[in-house]
A and B are shown apart, each in its own frame.
Chain A
Amino acid sequence: MDSENEYNSSQMSDDGFMEDSDVDMDDGECLLFAAVLSESDFEVEEEDDVGFETQDKDIKPTKHAYEVDFNVFSPADIHAQQDKQIAETSSILEQPPEATAILLRHSRWNKEKLVEAYLERREEVLEEAGLGEEVQKHPPKVMKVPGFVCDICCDDDEDMETFAMKCGHRFCVDCYKRYLRTKIKDEGEAARIRCPGDKCNRIVDSKSLDLLLPPDLRDRYNELINRTYVDDKENLKWCPAPNCVYAVDCKIKDRELMRIVPTVHCNCGHYFCFGCTLNDHQPAPCALVKKWMKKCEDDSETANWISANTKECPKCHSTIEKNGGCNHMTCRKCRNEFCWMCMGVWSEHGTAWYNCNRYEEKSGHDARDAQARSRQSLERYLHYYNRYANHEQSAKLDKDIYLKTEKKMTQLQNSTGMSWIEVQFLDAASQALQQCRQTLKWTYAFAYYLARNNLTEIFEDNQKDLEMAVENLSEMFEKPIDQLKGLKRDMLDKTAYCNKRRIILLDDTATNLKDGEFSCAFGMMGFNVTLP
């Protein structure tokens, strides 16, 4: 059984087996292998297991430090998961599956909490979910009430059908239905629609919904119910790509996000961060990304302008924009008089001239020093920001080219007689460029917050290597069509090199991040994990 244990520890996330699925792989071979394992009887086929295991070690690519375990689920998978949990809970609670489903949804799919609460105060739990005994005895029904005026449509027709839940907020059936329609169709609510009565927080239970929902709303309702399942589960998230139907399961917890950047890859092709659902931002951790984006939003343009157009008063450090031609400046705030050219005190200039020729004066020198220091932080930010923005921009331009790639590929096929498969290298190159620039972009945001130590040098070397590789490939990519065929070998090499450099950079950074080797330049970042 030794081999089996080893298999488990190498394959499964440290949380052990996943609760919903025994399969925890992301590449086809392993998937197949695991499926065989999970279906086979371990005891009987122990011999085979050993065989598989050795084979597995050969085939399976070693996992990189920047990769996390995750699973992608289709809507059908999600449905099946719900059914499985309902079936499990149903047998514990000894309630029919239908009622169990309502209870689970009501408790936001927290099975343990539901079971505990149910065992402790059964009636109360049933009642809250709209399944109380009284409801069972007197199920909600539509009725006519003499002298009733609907508070929504103000109708008082004698024959009007009306409905109310146990809370007694009674409205005509038409209005009730329209209310539900608005909630479901327009606002996308499902599991927790409240009673339409003013200030009433009672949830419309499923028995009432069964009674009132027209058939055309049921599909939508069921779809939304599916959605709430994913929303309620901490380890499940929808892929944020437009029109994508998949959900991703990842065991990374929020508190781990300081040390891990959990980029996942949806079956639709979209790479995103499981922590914050933004586009892949490796190697920078989520908290830093958030901070950086906020800083850029607030500061970039202003900082650029300040840097280009202003200086600081040498005495009180107010930022000053020169609004006239004269170099004799008087600070509005502290009344300090100084020379705009040399930043030295004006009194040392003797009788005033418009041109300052006193560059070596001591007071001017000190003032310029102080100025330089305060400007340094601004310059530092702009250094990183400009590179970050440049890669973002370049990625966009590369993307434009990517859109033309397909056209290029067809042209290549026509003009050189190359087959479709032979021109795929362009597609691969373009994808590599996109991915590498994305990574490079975030290395600059990351570097901005990094305190210097010997690791940062390695980081910067990695960054430089990747950047050079990317620029080389990018340049080649822009060559005219007739030259492209001759460049195929070279481009394939450079593409592979780019991808390799990217993996090295990410792997290195992720390992150090995990081990807490990085520290932050400003001591304000959460990812400073040098201290336990």
Chain B
Amino acid sequence: MSSVAKKRILKEYAECSNDLPSGMKVIFDEANLTKWDVVMEGPAESPYAVCLELAMCFDKRSLMHQGGHFKLEINFPNDYPFKPPVVNFKTKVYHPNVSNDDKGSMCLGMLRPEEWKPPNKVISVLHLIQNLLVEPNIDDAIETSIANDYKTNRAEFNKTAQDWVKRYAK
């Protein structure tokens, strides 16, 4: 990994802690800068938040942040920031823009090599991911059948998404 990349990643880490989207946590290992583990809660306004009935039984204050917990991995390529970081969902998620396989890969918007510009920052990527959970990008879907579900049968889509949260995103 180049010294430019190291410097950039360290700097980005220092900067992003103030600016993280709510409900997101970055686990950072100084020994291995190239991989960030991210834990994010399903945004409250999305089907990826944990079912409210479940949360009701517990302390009411914790209800606000009872979202499903999603694990993500961000890998920085050797020639970062000239190439985009690679994002993978480690937790299965029912979403048009996340591949429904063991990789959970995402490839849209600024994450595409031809769209990525070197001044772009990881923090924007994290915001992008959170926004996508609230509002999927149907035109750029990787899972067309899920996108179809979202487009034509929203209730069914929400139900399946919530089922998956209960099953996989404890």
Contact A196 B7 (CB under 8 A): no
A178 to B81: give the CA distance in the assembly, Å: 10
Q: Quick one: closest B residue to A195, CB to CB? A: B117
Q: Is A182 in contact with chain B by the CB < 8 A criterion?
A: yes
Contact A198 B120 (CB under 8 A): yes
Q: Quick one: closest B residue to A176, CB to CB? A: B118
Residues of B within 8 A of A152 (CB): 4, 8, 81-82, 118-119
Contact A154 B7 (CB under 8 A): yes
Residues of B within 8 A of A154 (CB): 7-8, 11
Contact B4 A196 (CB under 8 A): no
Residues of B within 8 A of A196 (CB): 117-119
Interface residues on B, range: 10 to 19
Residues of B within 8 A of A198 (CB): 117, 119-120
Contact A175 B4 (CB under 8 A): yes
Q: Is B135 in contact with chain A by the CB < 8 A criterion?
A: no
Contact A187 B113 (CB under 8 A): yes
Q: How far is the CB of A171 from chain B (nearest CB, A)?
A: 8
How many residues on chain A are close to B (CB under 8 Å)? Answer: 18
What does the 1/0 interface line of B59-92 toward A look like (CB < 8 Å)? Answer: 0000000000000000000010111000000000
Q: For window 171-205 of chain A, which residues contact chain B by CB distance below 8 Å?
A: 171, 175, 178-179, 182, 186-187, 194, 196-200
Q: Taking A178-B82, A182-B83 as contacts, is the C-beta distance between A153 and B4 under 8 angstroms?
A: yes
Residues of A within 8 A of B83 (CB): 182, 186
What does the 1/0 interface line of B112-134 toward A look like (CB < 8 Å)? Answer: 01100111100000000000000
Q: Quick one: closest A residue to B3, CB to CB? A: A153
Q: Quick one: closest B residue to A150, CB to CB? A: B119
Q: Is A151 in contact with chain B by the CB < 8 A criterion?
A: yes
Q: Quick one: closest B residue to A175, CB to CB? A: B118
Contact A182 B79 (CB under 8 A): yes
A227 to B132: give the CA distance in the assembly, Å: 37
Q: How far is the CB of B122 from chain A (nearest CB, A)?
A: 13
Contact B114 A179 (CB under 8 A): no
Q: How far is the CB of A151 from chain B (nearest CB, A)?
A: 4
Q: How far is the CB of B39 from chain A (nearest CB, A)?
A: 27
Q: Taking A187-B114, A196-B118, A197-B117 as contacts, is the C-beta distance between A153 and B8 under 8 angstroms?
A: yes
Q: Quick one: closest A residue to B8, CB to CB? A: A154
Q: For window 109-165 of chain A, which residues contact chain B by CB distance below 8 Å?
A: 151-155
Q: How far is the CB of B138 from chain A (nearest CB, A)?
A: 22
Residues of A within 8 A of B11 (CB): 154
A178 to B4: give the CA distance in the assembly, Å: 11
Contact A153 B7 (CB under 8 A): yes
A194 to B114: give the CA distance in the assembly, Å: 10
A187 to B83: give the CA distance in the assembly, Å: 10
Contact A151 B119 (CB under 8 A): yes
Q: How far is the CB of A191 from chain B (nearest CB, A)?
A: 14
Q: Which of A153, A199, A200 has the most CB of B within 10 A?
A: A153
Q: Taking A152-B8, A153-B7, A182-B82 as contacts, is the C-beta distance between A199 and B114 under 8 angstroms?
A: no
A197 to B120: give the CA distance in the assembly, Å: 9
Q: Quick one: closest B residue to A174, CB to CB? A: B4
Residues of A within 8 A of B118 (CB): 151-152, 171, 175, 179, 196
Q: For window 317-374 of chain A, which residues contact chain B by CB distance below 8 Å?
A: none
Q: How far is the CB of A213 from chain B (nearest CB, A)?
A: 16
A175 to B11: give the CA distance in the assembly, Å: 17
A182 to B4: give the CA distance in the assembly, Å: 14
Contact A197 B4 (CB under 8 A): no
Q: For window 82-115 of chain B, which residues contact chain A by CB distance below 8 Å?
A: 82-83, 113-114
Residues of A within 8 A of B4 (CB): 152-153, 175, 178
Cβ contact of A199, chosen from B81, B82, B113, B117, cutoff 8 A: B117
A178 to B83: give the CA distance in the assembly, Å: 11
Q: Quick one: closest A residue to B119, CB to CB? A: A151
Residues of A within 8 A of B120 (CB): 198
5 chain-A/chain-B pairs, Cβ below 8 angstroms: A151-B118, A152-B81, A179-B82, A194-B117, A199-B117
Given contacts A154-B8, A186-B83, A198-B119, 4 further A-B contacts (CB under 8 A): A152-B8, A152-B82, A171-B119, A178-B4
